[in-house]
Structure 1
Amino acid sequence: MSRDAHFRIGSVTKTFTSTVVLQLAAEHRVTLDAPARRYLPTLIPPAYGKVTVRQLLDHTSGVPAPAGIPGPADGPGWWLKSMTPQAVVRQAFANKEEPSTPPGTTQQYNGVNTFIAGLLVEKVTGHTFKAELTRRIIRPLALHDTSLPAPTDTTVPTPHAHGYVGTDEVTEQSPWPWAEGGLISTAADLDRFMTALFRGRLLPPAQQRLLFTVPDVPSAPTNTNCINHTSCFSTGGLMRVTLDNGITVWGKTGSRPGWTTGTFTTRDLKHRVTYSLNPTGTASERPHVMAIVNAAFATTRENTKKGGTP
């Protein structure tokens, strides 16, 4: 894999989407503590009428998990199957008439939240999510290797590694995860995005603080992304992780079939890592991911005490 290789970033896309929503909040076009149903009344059922935009962003909404999304059960070529964002949300609500937990009381990481956020962006702006993402983030930061593919575009720009699940090559696949996980990028572009985000180039101070605001609620037992039953996802789409050496870093992980990606940094940006793996899908990726991140920040505490950089 070359250092300028393109890869599917999966749920790292969520941080881009959350940033766009926070920009709209700064422009007073979205109210974070308003019911999301105010903006999408025909998509969100009345039973979920108390779910706020903020709760979508910090995963405390209690909306149902995805249902019926493409997967191995769909048979050969399942990675090429597609769903529209509206279908993802509607199928999730169709299987759950009432919230599993009262909104705002428990954090449960859930991609449906971000699909709704992307649709909210389109409803408020009157433009496609791709157009707003390009205008607000990709073009201003000159992220020339970052793109949101069209629904029918299954390709990855070259150069790129090849992705596999077992013996099936899945390099070309449907980008149906869209605002939740459909972006393609490179290590350099993700580092540029995180650096700009942490330096306040994309958000005013009030919204910038939300990047590092994690709700003070319990983490759901099934919320395996967070450890020690402590919530870890912020209103800004970031993930707070305390490493083995006690250093706390912020960033986001993401996965698509054949790709596992992540980007993490200390608050001061002095220590950063962006990685992409090509797993086969036959074993847990978590040990490899944590080994990379722990190794990347292994000397951070020592260097910080000495005033140095890695």
Structure 2
Amino acid sequence: MPDNASAPTAPTSPTPLTLLGLGAMGTALARTWLAAGHPLTVWNRSPGRSTELALRGARVADTAADAVAASPLVITCLLDDASVREALADADLTGKDLIDLTTSTPAESRARAAWAAERGARFLDGGIMAVPPMIGAPEAGGYILYSGPRALFDEHRDVLSVPAATRYVGEESGRAALYDVALLSAMTAMFAGARHAFALVENAGVDREEFGGLVAGWLAAMAPATAGFGSAPSAEDVTSPAVVEAGDAALFRTAREQGVDTGLLTASAGAVTGI
């Protein structure tokens, strides 16, 4: 396993923490920390979401400020960066360690780090590379990216490793957000490609379940090749430009024949002369 990655581990002693945000992801995170024996205080804008966690032993705070006051370690998992600012507007962050797992842009994460420092808190940014069912399930392969002070990450590594494996990606505060959004962008494009594929066969009398298996298998087979974009291709790997152009042209002609919009192909393959 890489030096900057770690699998979930059991902390030597329970760490009290506060979690703001109990959507599907926040609730999944909360369950794992409670199951591991961590004293957990939770807050959510909609109080009804906390009922299950209260039965599992969580302390439910009436306000975000009260929740922050309850623990030295505060984790946010909210809708967006504006939600984080709003939730913490009245909280005293002096001496707190704030870890933001809310999806944000690199610039927003850097601004949030500076904002936290001005209010007396240490800050780590996080990017969750998992869906809720993958939290607390090491075999599922999910992990959480972290960036910010290395010493702060190391200090909390044990508790952060409870929900999912951790991967530290650098001191620069916006790095985790950059990795997060870049990886999500790749996923989004993959899903868009799969939807495009289904649109092509929509009216062709194709068994959709059988075709779905072919799509999944083909994408899985091709996935390892994506790592190659990180290095210069060898001479053996370079496909003739003429072959690429002919292949792209066939993709566009087929989409038009099937009455499917070519916007995705234009974005992914680029504008090819003559098509």
Instruction: Give the TM bin, normalised by the shorter chain.
Output: under 0.3
Q: Counting helix residues as a fraction of each chain, which structure ranks higher?
A: 2
Q: State the structure with more CA Rg.
A: 2
TM-score by length of 1: 0.22
Normalised by the length of structure 2, the TM-score is 0.24
